[in-house]
Amino acid sequence: TEHKAWWKSAIIYQIYPTSFFDSNGDGIGDLNGIASKLDYIKDLGVTVIWLSPIYKSPLADMGYDIADYRQIDPRYGTLEDWDRLLKGVHEREMKLMMDLVVNHTSDEHEWFISSSSSKSSPKRGWYIWRPPRTDNKTGVPNNWKSMFEGSVWQYHQETEEYYLHLWDKKQPDLNWENEDVREAVWDVMKFWLDRGCDGFRMDVINVISKTPGLPDAPITDPGEEYQPGTNDSPLSPSLSYPYSSRILLLYLLMNSPRVHEFLREMHTKVLSHYPTITVGETPFTHDPNVLAEYTLPKNNELMMVFPFELMHVDTPLAEGKPQGQATGNKGEGEVVAERAELMYREWKLDELKKIVEKWQLLKMREGYWSGVYIENHDQARSVSRFGNDSSDELQVHSAKGLAVWHVSMRGTCYVYQGQELGLKNAPRSWGIENFLDVASRNWYDKILEQRRKSTGEANPNMDDIMEGIHMKARDHARMPMPVSVLWSSSPNAGFTTGTPWMKVNDDYERWNAASQVGNDDSVLAFWKKALRVRKEYEVLVYGNFTLLAPTHQQLFAYTRKMRNGTVGLVVMNYSKEEVVVDVPKDLTGLQEGGEGYNELGLRCVLSNAGGDSEGESLKEKM
């Protein structure tokens, strides 16, 4: 069978609460703002809403630094507001997922305040503390590099030890080896599930277990002080773990020995007692076999994960390896060097297709399942990155084309706020001062400092760095939504009556929800249709994927097939030029020389029905 399940055909809409809709004029989106737009979301065809974090937080990483798991941050509202929001969601027969961020807390969480108060605190062991090392210059316990630049270790004066933080220093990592920590996490989950929450998106869940001994990472980037432990770096083979033949693919941080044990415990103690929906965010792992383990039904862990490889198609690899090859079946000793995530490189369509195919083919028979996304709060806008936003017309075309791709992928469909409007990145005229994200700022500052040192100039050229930031910064997705259906071109895109926490995009007078609602040609109308089609044709959710014309640099074409014989054919032209394609006649439903409309209402002309067209032939490939 095709392992059908309601959550596989769900349409999940991700909301970034800070930027969705501000109901009280303080410039920050809030729960009541979301509650007031539920009809808009429902109307789009959404069945599940996922909220990025809304818990009490100093917002060092926009809420991914949680100071209290059981309280709503006052900026977003109150627990009662959340209850009302949930009611509104359920009344519309949708579900609500929360973001579970439990690899780390905020340093302002009471657990960390207690843990750092003294070495004898009962919560000392809840985080990862190490004394200074005496055999290196700086004293840092190892050479791992933080995801936000610099060391993963922060020295704590009062207790004279370092604590580990894989992300910002205000995000200390919890020590999952400690049973009390795990119990505390299960309690947090039960708190929300008992309150009616329908499930969780689990932040960086593949790094909760750390490699025993926290050994130094291999030096993959000799020019740097700290090394990326998060890359697919094989661990020293002399260390052995209770793993089978894939032992050669152990990673320093990701997918470390106990992660599956912890997730099974989570399943036994929490998830199995509630009807939930779960998705694990699993960055950096490009080995499909490793990732599959998280979702195979026999393992009783998560329902699905988010693979990341596609998000790296436009990231230069240090050693210049083409994407889609540097991963997968690495042999022992092969090391993929650091990726500078905020740098951009041109990519070719066949590279993208290769990655899509790799993940679409994965272990479906055994029940692997993944979330399909091309945007979220950590990624730039897809029309700017995977399409062409150089004119309004091309932006509309790109957004619609990307929608076709998105809704015809195997996996559960995730749509990020604003994607349904075809929103694009911030304009090139924006300087670094308009980018607020800690990842963008730290990256920029690090390179600036390096270049000041090496050139001796106060203002070294940073054009290449800004180019990367303009293409890929997380900020692009985080601009306030021009969502209001009441105000179109009113100031601040109708997002707030006050001063928005972040600058709104310059183009909001043309690109906003009000101008698209009720407009049949709009990107929004197209998305609605596309999602309707996806719901109508199961083959788009479950069908086997076969890539056609894999090396073609304009055509993106594939079939989806069910075991009952249903076939879906998707043919997209990924270029500005006309492409002639010879497709099997019976799949188009058209008469020779005839024309008609496909499921998405797009006009199709069967111009050369004899089959001797000069274009690419997809016939024999099917």
**Active-site positions?**
203, 281
Nearest to 329 by CA among 427, 435, 245: 245
Nearest to 450 by CA among 221, 195, 286: 221
Smallest gap from residue 17 Cβ to Ca ion (A): 9
Nearer to ligand TEU, 126 or 556 (CB): 126
Question: Which of Ca ion, ligand TEU, none sits in contact with 341, Cβ below 5 to 8 A by type?
Answer: ligand TEU
Nearer to ligand TEU, 56 or 560 (CB): 56
Smallest gap from residue 142 Cβ to ligand TEU (A): 19
The H or E element spanning position 74 is: none
Smallest gap from residue 309 Cβ to Ca ion (A): 37
Smallest gap from residue 32 Cβ to Ca ion (A): 8
Nearer to Ca ion, 498 or 610 (CB): 498
Phi, psi values for residue 40, rounded to 5°: -60, -45
Question: Which of ligand TEU, Ca ion, none sits in contact with 22, Cβ below 5 to 8 A by type?
Answer: Ca ion
**Beta strands of 198-315 (E only): which ranges?**
199-202, 277-281, 304-306
CA 96 to centroid of chain Cα atoms:
18
Q: Which residues contact 566 (CB under 8 A, 6 or more apart)?
A: 537, 538, 539, 543
- Tell how strand 68-72 and strand 55-56 pair up: antiparallel
| Structure tokens belonging to residue 511 | 């690109």
Nearer to ligand TEU, 206 or 360 (CB): 206
Which of 10, 15, 28, 514: binder of Ca ion (CB under 5 A)?
A: 28
Question: Which of Ca ion, ligand TEU, none sits in contact with 145, Cβ below 5 to 8 A by type?
Answer: none
Collapsing DSSP states into helix, strand and coil, what is residue 263?
helix
Smallest gap from residue 203 Cβ to ligand TEU (A): 5
Nearer to ligand TEU, 77 or 283 (CB): 283
In one letter, which amino acid is 408? S
CA pair distance 234, 334, nearest whole angstrom: 7
Smallest gap from residue 482 Cβ to Ca ion (A): 16
CA pair distance 337, 323, nearest whole angstrom: 12
Q: Which of residues 3-22 bind Ca ion (CB under 5 A)?
A: 22
Q: Which residue is nearest to ligand TEU (CB)?
A: 378
Q: Exposed, middle or buried by CB within 10 Å (0-12, 13-18, 19+), for 308? A: middle
Q: Is 553 in the site for Ca ion (CB under 5 A)?
A: no
Phi, psi values for residue 144, rounded to 5°: -70, 145
Question: Which of Ca ion, ligand TEU, none sits in contact with 24, Cβ below 5 to 8 A by type?
Answer: Ca ion
Positive or negative: CA dihedral 378, 381, 382, 384: negative
Using CB under 5 A as the binding criterion, the count of chain residues that bind Ca ion stands at 5
The total of other beta-carbon atoms located within 10 Å of residue 393's CB is: 9
Nearer to ligand TEU, 60 or 570 (CB): 60
Residues at the interface with ligand TEU (CB under 6 A): 61, 64, 101, 147, 167, 203-204, 281, 283, 311, 341, 377-378, 474
Q: Which stretch binds Ca ion (CB under 5 A): 28-36, 305-313, 448-456, 461-469?
A: 28-36
CA 109 to centroid of chain Cα atoms:
25
Nearer to Ca ion, 26 or 507 (CB): 26
Question: Which of ligand TEU, Ca ion, none sits in contact with 26, Cβ below 5 to 8 A by type?
Answer: Ca ion
Question: Which of Ca ion, ligand TEU, none sits in contact with 538, Cβ below 5 to 8 A by type?
Answer: none
CA pair distance 313, 351, nearest whole angstrom: 7
Question: Which of Ca ion, ligand TEU, none sits in contact with 553, Cβ below 5 to 8 A by type?
Answer: none
Nearer to Ca ion, 2 or 26 (CB): 26
Smallest gap from residue 37 Cβ to ligand TEU (A): 22
DSSP class of residue 229? T
Q: Is 26 in the site for Ca ion (CB under 5 A)?
A: yes
Smallest gap from residue 23 Cβ to Ca ion (A): 6
Smallest gap from residue 370 Cβ to ligand TEU (A): 16
Q: Which of residues 29-58 bind Ca ion (CB under 5 A)?
A: 30
Which of 3, 4, 6, 24: binder of Ca ion (CB under 5 A)?
A: 24
Question: Which of ligand TEU, Ca ion, none sits in contact with 20, Cβ below 5 to 8 A by type?
Answer: none
Q: Which residue is nearest to Ca ion (CB)?
A: 30
Question: Which of ligand TEU, Ca ion, none sits in contact with 173, Cβ below 5 to 8 A by type?
Answer: none
Nearer to ligand TEU, 338 or 341 (CB): 341
Q: How far is CA 513 from CA 73, 417, 590, in A?
A: 27, 11, 36
In one letter, which amino acid is 483? V
Q: Left, alpha or beta for 518 (phi > 0: left; psi -120 to 50: alpha)?
A: left
Task: Give the neighbor-by-neighbor strand order of the sheet with 199-202.
Answer: 304-306, 277-281, 199-202, 95-100, 48-51, 11-15, 412-416, 371-372
Smallest gap from residue 394 Cβ to ligand TEU (A): 26
Q: Is 65 in the site for Ca ion (CB under 5 A)?
A: no
| Structure tokens belonging to residue 357 | 């195919």
Our separate counts of H helices and E strands in the chain read: 17, 20
Cα torsion at 163, 169, 171, 177 (round to 10°)? -20
Q: Which residues contact 110 (CB under 8 A, 6 or more apart)?
A: 68
Nearer to ligand TEU, 66 or 513 (CB): 66
Collapsing DSSP states into helix, strand and coil, what is residue 371?
strand
- Please compute, for residue 349, the number of CA atoms within 13 A of its CA located in the half-sphere on the CB side: 16
CA 238 to centroid of chain Cα atoms:
34
CA pair distance 85, 92, nearest whole angstrom: 11
Question: Which of Ca ion, ligand TEU, none sits in contact with 221, Cβ below 5 to 8 A by type?
Answer: none
The footprint of Ca ion (CB under 5 A) covers 22, 24, 26, 28, 30
